[in-house]
Amino acid sequence: MRYPYRSWEWMSPGGFPGLQHRWRVALRAAVGSTPMHSRLRILFERYYQKDSCFTMPTSDIPNIDDFTPIVQKHFRIEEVTWGDSRQNFLVRYRGELIRDSAEAYDALSAELKKYKTTVLFREQDGQHIILLVKGLIEPQPSNPWINLGLFLATLLSMLYVGAANVFEGTSAEFYGNILANLASGFPYAGSLLAILLAHEFGHYLAGRYHKIAVTLPYFIPLPLLGGFGTLGAAIRLKEPPKNKRVLLDIGIAGPLAGLVVAIPIVLVGLSNSELGTLPDVAILEGNSILYLVAKYITLGEWLPMPVSFDGVHPFLYWAKYLITGLPVPIGGQDVLLSPMAWAGWAGLLVTAINLIPTGQLDGGHTLYSLIGDKVSKSRPYILTLLLLMGLMYSGWWLWALLIYFLGRNHAEPYDQITPLDSNRKVMAVFTLIIFILVFIPVPLRMIGIAGAGF
């Protein structure tokens, strides 16, 4: 059911993809917050910036004609276009690859690395394109002390929020012995932090496995009572993924790893929670298919159980309740979430938001890896669906706005020709099914709280 009530405070470009702005290609695993997010980002440093890591000494530039014999070993050339300062590439080849695209990319990029030339594989109108761009990404070191400082600040923030949510005395009593009281926040903070760490290091380890330069997680503290104690965390990739296979591996590793930790936390947390009557003033957490099943497994009932179905078939009742959160089952039976269960539910919500299949979210990377540029056709439908769901939970309007302005472009791997192999296609479809199972249409409903707006 609900957590004990507190005051809640919520807070391609045109032309050839990646060429017009080759120094600014971004990959985000999630955008914005509300209530928390995991961000995965790639940044190409601006080409003309003084301290740019995307440079090429003039002395290393070969005769432009020297590129063609190298490319011909992997590519049947039908057309050659020499670039200029306006087009931002050295040379463009149109034609057809004569070997496996992944192998061709590895071999060609290795051969041209000595010339500090970046190789881009693109596909347009069924034709293969190879673009050679002057310069290489040279990732710069980051400062791990910043990551550690933010992690410790977030830990304290989550301990504070977790302890305040279970403290039953006055504010003066809580703050008068705050260090001792913080210990009571460990069940909540430790559980949610474990989920977030699994999510972030899922991305991190997948990136390192594929030899992608990546930062440690940047956690974001938010010590507001009624919140989660954090806005999540961010990991920044310092270079683009090589191809869609790498993009998928990195993109799904976070939410799947987080879910592996979140599910047992939810089950253990629910088993240590108590059943009670839903009062007329409460905060009711939303349900997903997975969360409903988890409550049934641990507590033996579909919750929240209404006093009466009023003649409606139970299946139809639960289908409607799952999607709309209505009717509110006041007086019915529900579970009073323990701090651990509350943290587990928050972890499921984080996973669901990150798996929305659009833009720069993890789900967007998954869908792009699976169907390529066709993903842009799905965006208007997803935005429309979010706007409609906003009628039941206004927070989706904010997400629709964020996705509209910040999620217009998908990720830009170096090699956009190489498709997913069969195993990865299965994993991509599996991940999208997971999204359906964990998605919470109405994350929160505030009952009998003036000005709640839900």
Local mean pLDDT, 10-residue blocks, the chain (454 residues) = 37 31 29 34 33 45 78 95 81 95 96 93 93 91 96 96 91 88 95 97 97 95 90 90 97 97 98 93 93 97 93 93 92 95 96 93 94 90 95 94 83 93 98 98 84 43
| Residue 61, pLDDT score | 55
Does 326 reside within a domain? no
Structural domain for 369, as ranges:
37-42+141-270+341-447
Final residue before a domain boundary, out of 134, 152, 175: 134
Instruction: Identify whether residues 92 and 215 lie together within a single domain.
Output: no
Based on the fold, state whether residues 169 and 128 are members of the same structural domain: no
Residues 85 and 127 placed together within one structural domain of the fold? yes
CATH code, domain carrying 78: 3.90.1070.10
Question: How far apart (Å, rounded) are the C-alpha atoms in residues 56 and 47?
Answer: 10
For residue 334, being part of any structural domain is answered with no
Same domain, 263 and 121: no
Terminal-to-terminal C-alpha distance of the chain: 16
Nearest of 352, 364, 370, 445 to residue 409 by alpha carbon:
364
Question: What dihedral angle (degrees, nearest 10) is formed by the CA atoms of 84, 89, 90, 91?
Answer: -100
Whether residues 109 and 145 fall in one domain: no
Same domain, 260 and 213: yes
368 and 261 part of one domain: yes
Count of the separate structural domains present in the chain: 2
In this predicted structure, what is the pLDDT of residue 1?
57
Predicted pLDDT at 159: 96
Last residue of a domain, one of 134, 166, 200: 134
Residue 18's region, left for phi above 0, alpha for psi from -120 to 50, else beta, is: left
Residue 428: its pLDDT value, please?
A: 98
Residue 332 lies in a domain: no
Q: 294 lies in a domain?
A: no
Residue 153 Ramachandran class (φ > 0 left, ψ -120 to 50 alpha, else beta): alpha
pLDDT at 452: 46
Residues 147 and 164 reside in one and the same domain? yes
Beta bridge partners of 276: 334
Q: What is the dihedral of CA 43, 48, 49, 53, to 10 degrees?
A: 50
Predicted model pTM: 0.85
Q: Examine the domain organization and report whether 162 and 256 are in the same domain.
A: yes
Same domain? For 239 and 156 the reply is yes
224 and 244 housed in the same domain: yes
Backbone angles phi, psi at 415, to 5 degrees: -105, 110
Q: Does residue 376 fall inside a structural domain? A: yes
